[in-house]
Each structure stands twice: as C-alpha cells, then as structure tokens.
Amino acid sequence: MSARDAWPAIGAETLDWESRYAEASALDRFDPRPQTYDAAVPPLIAERALQLSPRTAALARAAENELIRFDASLNDEMTGFAPLLLRSEAAASSQIEHLSASARAILTAEIGDTSKRNATEIVGNTRAMQSALALADELTPASVQKMHEVLMDGTKHTPGQWRTEPVWIGTSARSPVGAAFVAPRYERVSALMEDVMAFARRDDLPVLAQVAVAHAQFETIHPFTDGNGRTGRALVQSMLRGKDITRSVTVPVSAGLLTDVSAYHDALTAYRAGEVQPIVEQMAIASDDAIRNARTLIAQLRDTTTGWRETVRPRTGSQLEKVLDYAARQPVFTAASASADLGIGTTNIYPHLRRLTELGVLKQKAEYKMGQVWRADEVLVALDEFAERAGRRRG
C-alpha cells in the first residue's frame, strides 16, 4: 500500500483545561500553572479511498457472505427468532460497557419492572437497536441522534444532543489532563458527524469494511457525553440493515465482539493511529463468532418449541397456538401485555395460560408490583447460555 493510499492517523490540538467549577480549589491555588491537554483531531473520511490488504479484504468478504446466508437461512422463522436475536444483541452491547443482567430480569424490565437498574438500561439499548433498524434507510446525523435519544431517555446525559463539553478515556474523572485519549473538542462534533455519515451512505465500498470503519470513526468522535459505545454498535446494525446484509434479523455482532473485548478496544486504538486493518478484521471475526453462537441459540429454541407443540398439540390458527408462539418470542409477560400484543381479550387469554402452565410450558409467579407474571423458563435458559458463550474468550 502506498503512502498516498494509507489511512491517516488522527491529529491533535493542545487546548487549555478549564474546570467546571467557577472557583479554584485550594490545590489549584497552590499550583496555579495553566493546565493543557491534547484533544484528537480526526481526519475527514467522507470521500477517502479505503485500501485493504488482500487478507483483510478476503476475511471481510467471507464474513459478509456468511451474514447474508445466515439471514436468509431463517426464512419463515423470522417472527419468532428476530425479537430474541435483537434482545441478545442489545444485551451483549451493554455487557461490553459492563452492564449485565439475566434474561429474566431484562424481560421483566421490558414489561414495566424498573427496580433493577442494569436491566432497565439494557431495555433502553434494545429500544435503541429497534430505532436503529427503523432508521436504516436514512443513515444521517439526525438518525444517530434519534438512536441516542431512545437509548438515554430518562437520563441526565442530554439524550439525542451532541455534547458541549470534553470527554476522555483515562483514570481521572477530574480532568482530561494526562488522559489516554481525549475526543475532539465539542465544536468539531457536528461537522465530523456529517462527514462520517456521508461515508456511511456511500455505495462504492465493501460493506463490512465500511461498517467497521464508520464505527471506529464514530467512536473516535465520541459525539455524546455518554452512551457512545452502545449508540455506535446500534449504528453497526443500522448500516447492516440499510445495506441489505441483514434484511430480516439482527445478527448479534456485539456478542462476537464480547468474545474478546480487549482485541476490540486494541483495534479502535490502532484505528486512531492510522491502522484500518485491525478494526475491519475484528468486525469480521466478531460476525463469524456471532453467527456460530446465534445458530446454537436457534437450534435450542427450535428444539424447545418443537417439544412444546408435541406436548400442547394446538389447533392451527387457534388462540392457544398464538399464545404458545408468543411465549417463545416474549418469554416473560403478564396477561395484560399478552392480551394487548395478541389482540385477545383478557378474559379469553386466561384459560390458555392455565393450560400452558398445567402442561409445564409456562411457570406462573406473583411479582412485586407486577401482579401475576408468566415465564417460559426454557427460552430464558437458552438466552442466558447464549450470553455466557458470548462472554467466553475463544480458546
């Protein structure tokens, strides 16, 4: 690769640090020297050529083809598996940020239990992923802001708004002085986001490589005060859907990244130094890992639902069959939530819930402030095992 074609490293600019507190502390008065820090100055990439080594290009192309094949392989099973894969992606993306919860806690939060903070935040990430897919045809700064708005709804972190203060990666929360990485000064964010989203909309690049680079550039910009990692991985899903790689399901790529988080973070660091190959390769490897893990999950779910049908023997098109299918894709629910989602009157749904509970398909429990809740424990176990596999480093 020639120097002309090499991907540029980020630059830097030296800025003065001003404390958020108006009055200097005693320590500041003791050492009144002005403090400075170096903030990143990312290159503009909207029209830049993307040159990959033959090995990296082949790896990315193979992973892209596997994503397309996996998506196509599910066919008429999309209705049942798509919501579960979406939740699995949201949970894995959250786990990269050290937010974890059981499938039962997450799904209970989804129907209104806000007592567990991690589970509630993961539900916000699920909704952000849903927003990302709904906005897949746009790929604009506004669509990214909408994803963040949904993700951070109800928090103090200015949902959907570009940051107006420095953000950094380092051990000190007091100041960016001496930090390992300081994102661009906030005045640059708007123009940089216009640029990276123009890059994301291009149709002349290998898609998986384009997705990886757009993600790395987004994480370098760090446009929000919080939630950048989760929003950036939602952007990955939006691009995969918008470019027809995953037309029907959300492949849990974050679960693949979770398999080796250190390598993922190292690849982002390398990108900032002008090395584009590592993040493309990590995205390809993560996609392959995610597909393998998702296939295991789907095989478990197929076995479970086949066993249910053999036990229950519902009549085709009956309300009982609808409730049974619903339990597979929404394995924690109340009678009211099932009634609303399925359009079956509450009075009519109770006999079906009793029947499925008697046959061992569902379990019923009174939850604090929630009333009676029904669970499909076999599905919850499969989801927790998926998360456990994702968090296990490859040997």
**How sure is the predictor about 395, in pLDDT bands with cuts at 50, 70 and 90?**
very low
- pTM (predicted TM-score): 0.90
What number of other Cβ atoms are within 10 A of residue 367's Cβ? 16
Q: Which two three-digit tokens encode residue 181?
A: 């990485």
What contacts 227, CB < 8 A, 6 or more positions away? 148, 151, 152, 157
- Mind listing the pLDDT tens digit for each residue in 309-364? 999 999 999 999 999 999 999 999 999 999 999 999 999 999 999 999 999 999 99
What contacts 2, CB < 8 A, 6 or more positions away? none
* Average pLDDT of span 246-265: 92
* Average pLDDT of span 36-41: 95
Name the β-bridge partners of 13.
39
Q: Which two three-digit tokens encode residue 246?
A: 């995953």
pLDDT at res. 2 = 46
pLDDT at res. 41 = 98
Domains of the chain: 11-295 (1.10.3290.10), 313-387 (1.10.10.10)
- The answer to which of 273-277, 283-287, 293-297, 365-369 has the lowest mean pLDDT is 365-369
Q: Please tell me whether 204 is known to bind a ligand.
A: no
Closest CA to 112 of 355, 321, 388, 340: 340
Distance CA 224, CA 241 (A): 23
**How sure is the predictor about 4, in pLDDT bands with cuts at 50, 70 and 90?**
very low
| Alpha-carbon Rg for the chain in angstroms | 23
- The answer to which of 18-22, 45-49, 380-384 has the lowest mean pLDDT is 18-22
pLDDT at res. 25 = 57
Closest CA to 333 of 317, 314, 352: 352
Q: Which residues are catalytic?
A: 222
Q: Please tell me whether 228 is known to bind a ligand.
A: yes
Alpha helices in the chain (DSSP H): 26-30, 54-73, 78-96, 103-110, 117-134, 141-151, 189-201, 207-221, 228-242, 253-258, 261-272, 277-312, 319-329, 335-342, 346-358, 377-390
Q: Under DSSP, is residue 234 helix (H, G, I), strand (E, B) or coil? A: helix
Q: Please return the burial class of 87, using the count of CB atoms within 10 Å of its CB with bins 0-12, 13-18 and 19+.
A: buried
**How sure is the predictor about 167, in pLDDT bands with cuts at 50, 70 and 90?**
very high
C-alpha distance across the termini of the chain, in Å: 32
- Mind listing the pLDDT tens digit for each residue in 95-144? 999 999 999 999 999 998 888 999 999 999 999 999 999 999 999 999 99
Q: Please tell me whether 307 is known to bind a ligand.
A: no
Q: Please tell me whether 71 is known to bind a ligand.
A: no
Exposure on the CB side of residue 300, measured as CA atoms within 13 A: 17
**How sure is the predictor about 249, in pLDDT bands with cuts at 50, 70 and 90?**
confident
pLDDT over 70 percentage in the chain: 93
pLDDT at res. 31 = 57
Q: Please tell me whether 231 is known to bind a ligand.
A: yes
Q: Please tell me whether 393 is known to bind a ligand.
A: no
Distance CA 262, CA 35 (A): 31
* Average pLDDT of span 143-170: 92
pLDDT at res. 65 = 96
Q: Which two three-digit tokens encode residue 323?
A: 């409730």
pLDDT over 90 percentage in the chain: 80
Arithmetic mean of pLDDT over the chain? 91
pLDDT at res. 392 = 65
- Mind listing the pLDDT tens digit for each residue in 355-377? 999 999 999 999 877 789 999 99
Distance CA 195, CA 209 (A): 17
